[in-house]
Amino acid sequence: MTLSRRSTLQALAAASLTSTFGGRAFAQAESFRIGALNPVTGAGAPYGSGMQKMIVAAAEMVNAAGGAGGRKFEVFSEDTQTTPQAAVLAAKKLIEVNKVQAVLGTWASGVSLAVIPLANDAGILHMHTSGAPALSVPPANAKGLGYRYQATNDRFGRAFAEICQKEGYKRPATMAFNNASGIGNTEGFKKAWEAKGGKVLEAVVYEPNQPSYRAELQKVLAAKPDVIVTGSYLADTTIILREWFQSGETTKWIIPAWAANPDLVKAVGNEVSEGLIAVDSISNEGSEAFKAYDAAYRKVMNQDGLSNVYAAMTWDMVVTLALAMEAAGPGANIAAINAKIREVANPAGTKVSTFAEGKEALKKGKINYEGASSVLDFDQYGDVTPDFSVSFVSKGKIERKYVVKI
């Protein structure tokens, strides 16, 4: 090998660069960097800001309690724009530039499915609020680094089937937005409904951004269903319901609450929305953890904590992560932290509701964090099973009637 002046210079430059970056990394070893990757704009906008602010608030709370496992959180916030393309760019920036060790709070299955491979490749944790069943299993969750704080669409489908039975519907049909979440809802419903011995009369899958959904409606209504179960979002549901009402049919609707929310009622009016059934996974209301979250949410957002189930999930993400770090001890790597997540969240152990409480209890033994979003017991896939609320729209108000457990 001949050593030219140029290659020597290159080597020197490389060495000095490495040491610069190495030095920086060492100086920041005290902090644990997390990426708050939330739908601040786009379809998730009603929830995104609150989700992001709760990550920041929970991180501040952990830092105020002396940090987790000797480290303090440093939060980097990004917007997914509720589109996979923008989310991937933002996740790359968080992982490669900010060197985050966990990505928290992606919303919408398309977004989470796009981001989770990046987290897998980087070997970091990914906690999300998406429902697609594919997020449970390989390849998406091949390394077991993914945790879902929301019910799977499959579980939503099971809840829909329970409600159908309870309300006495006999002839259901389904309409699904063509993505993993929409189809996951209606397929989950079909599976659960057929297991109860029922039959789904018609199943339509439709495309986003159409000027009209009348042809789709025509096909579904031709089967004469008594109820239509959807896997849909706000904008398409608005258009579909208006066109449905104007067709003069009187079918009932069961719609996930991320579409059947106050914005929908406002958009279609009281007459059209009368009697719609909105189904949502519900927070662990009445729990101590929920009270802590609710207080933080009211302080930052000036709104009731109940108005944003996803913000309760992102709050819990930070708390479980912090408790796992505390349990894993100072300087633990991602694998060691990951190994502790179920240990601090699932039974058995002392039930705790806040980080500070859990930190104390960890000195004595095992803990079981009962979260603000659900009791937060992760199964083998990293999924939780929250309860579901069933609300009816009456005179423009969405009123909860009962709770379904699956």
Q: Which residues bind other proteins (CB under 8 A)?
A: 41-42, 45-46, 178, 204-212, 214-216, 218-219, 222, 234-235, 238-239, 242, 245-248, 263, 267-269, 271-272
| Cα 9 to chain centroid, rounded | 50
402 C-beta neighbours (distance < 10 Å), count: 11
Provide the minimum distance between the beta carbon of 267 and other proteins in the complex, in angstroms, as a whole number: 4
Q: Are 203 and 187 in contact (CB under 8 A)?
A: no
- The tally of CA atoms less than 13 A away on the side-chain side of residue 30 is 7
207 C-beta neighbours (distance < 10 Å), count: 11
Closer to other proteins at the Cβ: 42 or 117?
42
In the structure encoding, which two tokens stand for residue 154, read together?
Answer: 């499959």
Q: Are 406 and 291 in contact (CB under 8 A)?
A: no
Q: Are 329 and 69 in contact (CB under 8 A)?
A: yes
Closer to other proteins at the Cβ: 205 or 406?
205
Bond from prior residue into 348 cis (ω within 30 degrees of 0):
yes
Provide the minimum distance between the beta carbon of 177 and other proteins in the complex, in angstroms, as a whole number: 11
Provide the minimum distance between the beta carbon of 86 and other proteins in the complex, in angstroms, as a whole number: 12
Tell how strand 102-106 and strand 125-128 pair up: parallel
The single residue listed with the structure tokens 């929970």 is: 58
Closer to other proteins at the Cβ: 40 or 317?
40
Closer to other proteins at the Cβ: 84 or 386?
84
Closer to other proteins at the Cβ: 71 or 190?
190
Provide the minimum distance between the beta carbon of 246 and other proteins in the complex, in angstroms, as a whole number: 6
Closer to other proteins at the Cβ: 235 or 300?
235
Closer to other proteins at the Cβ: 214 or 351?
214
- The tally of CA atoms less than 13 A away on the side-chain side of residue 247 is 20
Bond from prior residue into 139 cis (ω within 30 degrees of 0):
yes
Provide the minimum distance between the beta carbon of 148 and other proteins in the complex, in angstroms, as a whole number: 25
Provide the minimum distance between the beta carbon of 169 and other proteins in the complex, in angstroms, as a whole number: 23
Task: Quote the longest CA-to-CA distance of the chain.
Answer: 85
Provide the minimum distance between the beta carbon of 209 and other proteins in the complex, in angstroms, as a whole number: 4
Tell how strand 397-404 and strand 388-394 pair up: antiparallel
